[in-house]
Amino acid sequence: PPPPPPPTPFFFNPDDGIPDAQESRGLGDVYKRQGHEVFEHFFKSMDLQPWQFLVITQIIIFLLGWPLEWTEILIIFVPIFLPLVEFFGVNPYFFAMLIALNLQTSFLTPPMAMSAYYLKGVQSRNVELLDIFKGIMPFLLIVIFAMFLMYMFPGIALWLPEALFAN
């Protein structure tokens, strides 16, 4: 089949097969469809191995973790990536575990480091923000090491779901 046409801004092309605001259940439906098409076309146009797809998506999610809360990332971006997970043959449980660890990492690292600011808000008088960042570093290294182990040995993340959901 021919490649899909490039996405057009919604509201401007009523005959493109993508519902606009009046035809859809809301702007979220329009955004999800067009956002997914952009990401799907981008990832499928490159000749990626599954591990390359995982690294790119984890970098995107890591960068999104600085300005966004975890709920926004899960609600907006995970539905965009899930069909691609199937396309690349990645286990969805494995992908979910990587996202969970990745979000922990992004919440511990500057520039935003929301966890550090939460701690600063609780202990504002006795602790400096720089001290909190210094204290976070060992935990950050542990999370990064855990992600590395999961990439090298996916069974670490998959043994429990496989044991629970095996037929």
In one-letter notation, the amino acid at residue 125 is R
Concatenating the DSSP letter of every residue in 117-153 gives HHHHHHSTTT--HHHHHHHHHHHHHHHHHHHHHHHH-
Residues 68-75, mean pLDDT to the nearest whole number: 85
Range with the poorest average pLDDT among 18-32, 37-51, 55-69:
18-32
Residues 132, 135, 140, 146, CA torsion sign: negative
pLDDT, tens digit (0-9, with 9 covering 90-100), for 105-114? 888 887 778 7
Q: What is the pTM of this model?
A: 0.70
Query: Which candidate, 157, 47, 155, 50, places its Cα nearest to that of 102?
Result: 157
Cis peptide bond upstream of 2, omega within 30: no
In one-letter notation, the amino acid at residue 8 is T
Query: Which candidate, 94, 37, 75, 27, places its Cα nearest to that of 19?
Result: 27
